[in-house]
Amino acid sequence: MLASGEIIPDLAAPDQTGRSRGLRELLGERGGIVYFYPKDNTPGCTLEANDFQSLSGAFAQAGYTVIGISRDSVKSHAGFCAKHGLGFTLLSDGEGALCEAFGVWQEKTMCGKTSMGIVRTTFVVDAAGAVRRVYPNVKTKGHAAQVLADLGG
């Protein structure tokens, strides 16, 4: 998993509109909140997305953009954004290149079954693309507010 001080990869992926976007081009004046989540329209992922959306103005005021990434399709992301009024960028990492580069594609065990999947993780990245903080194994409730508070917002 990428650690504090490491530079994020400048990979591109399609956003919810299908437009290819370079990850670094999406960073705000001070940087970005890059969060990886397992699946659109599931309870935890919806809660997390709605919390980031409700605080997106405060993140923008602090100079940070919010960028969500999962392996869901562009069509799934478009529907997720429309259904929940999400105004920030969601990147479709269908091939898993971003997940692999950030180190969030890992073996997981649920109900005694082992499989590969996205470990819910948030990275605070500065405007130069350096990781400033990593939140591994995120619990969704209150997470977005905690990230904002840690930024001094």
Residues noted as catalytic: 45
Q: What is the 3-state secondary structure (H, E, C) of 62-101?
A: CCEEEEEEECCCHHHHHHHHHHHCCCCEEEECCCCHHHHH
CA atoms within 13 A on the CB side of 151: 27
Asked if residues 43 and 49 have their Cβ atoms less than 8 Å apart, the reply is: no
Asked if residues 69 and 93 have their Cβ atoms less than 8 Å apart, the reply is: yes
Q: Which two tokens stand for residue 8?
A: 């994020």
Nearest partner of 14 among 65, 73, 67, 66, judged by Cα: 73
Determine the Cα–Cα distance for residues 32 and 65; give it in Å rounded to an integer.
Answer: 5
Nearest partner of 71 among 50, 47, 102, judged by Cα: 102
